[in-house]
Amino acid sequence: MAIASSPTLETRWHQLFPTLSQADIERVRRFGSRCTYKTGEYLEETGKPSPGLILVLSGEVEISQHDPLGHVEEIVTYQPGQFLAEIASLSGIPVLVDGVAKTDVEAIIIPSARLRELMVAEADLGERIMRALILRRVAILETSVAGPIIVGRSGDANVLRLENYLGRNGYPHHTLDADSDEGGKALVERFHVAAAELPIVLCPNGDLLHNPDEHTLAACLGLVRKLDPDKLYDVAIIGAGPAGLAAAVYAGSEGLSTIMIDCNAFGGQAGASMRIENYLGFPTGITGMRLMARAYNQAQKFGVESAIPEEVVRLRVDSPCFAIETRSDQCVRARAIVIATGARYRRLDIPNLPEFEGSHVHYWASPLEGRLCQSQEVALVGAGNSAGQAAVYLATQAAKVYLLMRGKSLDATMSRYLVERIAAQPNIEVLPETEVTALTGEGQELKAIRWKSRRTGNETEKNIRHLFLFIGAEPNTDWLKASGIAVDAKGFVLTTTELGDGKQPLETSCPGVFAIGDVRSGSVKRVASSVGEGAQVVATLHAHLARLREGATA
C-alpha cells in the first residue's frame, strides 16, 4: 500500500520495488550472509544506522514510516525476492523507515561496504539496485511523514536556513508555522517554548533542538560521524561542489581511498541553480540539485566517504602526509589534498544588508525562495549566467523581476540563450547601468529597495520585499592563510600555470596539495570546466602517490 500521492510511486512502482529472480539471488549471496528474524522483529528502524541491503528469501516484511509525533503511514509489504534498502544504505547513515517482520523471515544481509562492491562487480544488477535506492529516496521526499519537524515563524531567516540545509542535502522534513499552524502551536505549548527560542526542531529520535546550527542538527539526525584520526586516506577532497564531486567520483572509481569534506552541503553554488541548460548531455536542461545529487550518489557508490557538514579550519603538513583539522576538533590524515572550496557569495556594500540576509536578501533562487516571493515584485542584481538562470526561474513565480546590472548590456557577460530568454519574458525588466543604493525595513523584514541609474542619476524606490544577489564571488580561502600556500592578489589559489616549472598539473606551491574549480586562480567559472578539472586532477594524484611509494621503497 502506498502512502500519500506521489508521481514516483504511481509511475515507477516496478523500478522502486523490483523482485529479483533466482539467478539474481544467487549472484547476491556471495556478498552477504544469511540471517533470520522472528515475527514482529525490526529488520531496520527509523533513526538507527542502516544495516545495508536486506534481501528477503522467505516471509513478509512491512515497511512504514512515522513522524517525530508518532503518526504512522504504511508504504509497502516486501515479498520473497524483494529487498530493504534506500540511498542511506550505501553509507550506513540512519534510515528513514521501519521494516518489521510480518511473519518469520529468512534473508540475506549485505553490509554497506559489500553493497558498494556488489554494485561495481555486478553491473546490470547493480544498476537496478541503484535505481531503486535513488527512487525510494525521491518518493520519501515527495510524500514523507518522516524526518524532523521545524517550528518557527514564516519567513524567519533561521527557519529558511534550516530548510535550505535539509533540502540541499536531500533530507525530508516538515515546517510548521508557530502562529498559524495548529500543529505548530501545539508543539510550542507542549514544549513550553518562548518566542525568543524559535525556531525549534523536533528530531525523529525525540530530541528537541532550539535554533540549532547545521552541525548540531546533522548530529541529531545521525548524518555526521566520528572521523578516524589514525586512518590514512590516499586523498582528502575539501569541498563538495562540482569540482570536488568530480574528483571524488573519479578517485573512488579508480580505487583511491577518498574522503570528501564540506561545511554545508554537496553541490556548492551549482546545487542552487534551478536550471542548467548548457551542460553536456542534458539538452532539455537539469536542475543543479538533481545533477549534483547524481554525482554525490555516484561517489557513494564507489566507496567515497564524506563528512558533511564538517568545516576545515586548518591544513597542516605532517610529512610526508597531511593533517586536516576541523572546527569540531577532529582530524583527517591523507597522502594528498585537493582544494575545491569554491567561492563565497559577494555582498553589496550597504550597511544594513546583514539585517535582511537569509529572510529577504537571498544568494540563490530555489523553490523555497520562489514560494516566498510568489506573485510579488522582486529585484535581482547580476549579469552572469547564474543571474540569468535565476531571473528566468523567478519570472515563473514572481509578478515581476527587475534585473539590475552595472554594465550596459547582458551580451558581454551572459550566454546568448539566456539573453534571448530574458528578452522573451514580459515580466522581466532589465535595468542597465543601475545599482542598489539603499534598503529600508524593520528588524529582519525588508520593505523597500532604492536604486540609482548611473546614466541619468535618477533614483527609484520600490516596495519590494525580496532582493536576489548574483554579483560574483570571492575565493573561500581564509582557512588556508596559516598553511603558507600561495594565493594571488584576490585570494585565489595559485597552481602550475602561475608557479612555473617543476610542478604537476593543478599542483599548488605545496607539493601534494592540488587546487581545482572556482577556487583556483585562472579557472573558468563554469560547472563543466570544474568537473573537467576534477577528473583531470585524479591522473595527477596517481603520479604523486606513485612517487610517494617509490620514495618509501627507496
Q: Which of 445, 471, 497 is the endpoint of a domain? A: 471
In sequence order, the β-bridge partners of residue 99 are 44, 63
Is 0.75 surpassed by the pTM of this model? Answer: yes
414 with 461, same domain: the answer is: yes
298 with 416, same domain: the answer is: no
Look over the chain and give the mean of its residue pLDDT values, rounded to a whole number: 92
449 with 363, same domain: the answer is: yes
Tell me how many domains the chain contains: 4
181 with 295, same domain: the answer is: no
State the pairing for strand pair 42-44/98-101: antiparallel
437 with 490, same domain: the answer is: no
* Half-sphere exposure for 28 (CA within 13 Å, toward CB): 29
pLDDT confidence bin for 554, thresholds 50/70/90: low
Q: Which of 220, 250, 272 is the endpoint of a domain? A: 220
State the pairing for strand pair 258-261/305-307: parallel
Which of 184-193, 396-405, 498-507, 526-535 is most confident?
A: 396-405
> How far apart (Å, rounded) are the C-alpha atoms in residues 246 and 535?
6
- Inside any domain, residue 279: yes
Q: Which of 171, 188, 220 is the endpoint of a domain? A: 220
Place of cell 515584485: 377
Q: Which tens digits make up the pLDDT trace of 40-86?
A: 999 999 989 999 999 999 999 999 988 777 788 888 999 999 999 99
412 with 492, same domain: the answer is: no
442 with 480, same domain: the answer is: no
42 with 17, same domain: the answer is: yes
> How far apart (Å, rounded) are the C-alpha atoms in residues 392 and 420?
11
| 545 Rama class: left (phi>0) / alpha (psi -120 to 50) / beta | alpha
- Inside any domain, residue 281: yes
pLDDT for 57 equals: 98
Domain CATH for 115: 2.60.120.10
Q: Which tens digits make up the pLDDT trace of 385-441?
A: 999 999 999 999 999 999 999 999 999 999 999 999 999 999 999 999 999 999 999
418 with 296, same domain: the answer is: no
Amino acid identity of 362?
Answer: H
Task: Look at residue 307 and give its three-state secondary structure.
Answer: strand
Query: Which of these, 288, 248, 13, lies nearest to 136 by C-alpha position?
Result: 13
pLDDT at residue 282 is higher than 50 = yes
Quote the cell numbers at residue 521. Answer: 586562480
324 with 409, same domain: the answer is: no
- Inside any domain, residue 1: no
> How far apart (Å, rounded) are the C-alpha atoms in residues 155 and 136?
30
Where b means 16+ CB within 10 Å and e means fewer, 128-148 reads: ebbebbbbbbbbbbebbbbbb
- Inside any domain, residue 306: yes
Amino acid identity of 521?
Answer: S
Q: Which tens digits make up the pLDDT trace of 171-219?
A: 999 999 999 999 899 999 999 999 899 999 999 888 999 999 999 999 9
Domain CATH for 189: 3.40.30.10
Residue range(s) defining the domain that contains residue 35: 7-143
pLDDT for 2 equals: 41
- Most distant CA atoms of the chain, gap in Å: 80
- Inside any domain, residue 206: yes
Place of cell 512504514: 64
- Inside any domain, residue 450: yes
462 with 505, same domain: the answer is: no
- Mean pLDDT value of segment 124-130: 95
- Inside any domain, residue 33: yes
271 with 324, same domain: the answer is: yes
> How far apart (Å, rounded) are the C-alpha atoms in residues 211 and 189?
17
* DSSP characters over 92-146: TPBPSSEEEESS-EEEEEE-HHHHHHHHHHSHHHHHHHHHHHHHHHHHHHHH---
pLDDT for 238 equals: 98
In this structure, are residues 137 and 161 in contact, taking their beta carbons and an 8 Å threshold?
no
pLDDT confidence bin for 1, thresholds 50/70/90: very low
The neighbour count for residue 111, using CB atoms within 10 Å, is 17
pLDDT at residue 4 is higher than 70 = no
Domain CATH for 405: 3.50.50.60
Query: Which of these, 41, 63, 52, lies nearest to 146 by C-alpha position?
Result: 63
- Inside any domain, residue 227: no
State the pairing for strand pair 72-78/208-210: unpaired
Q: Could you tell me how far CA 511 lies from the centroid of its own chain? A: 30
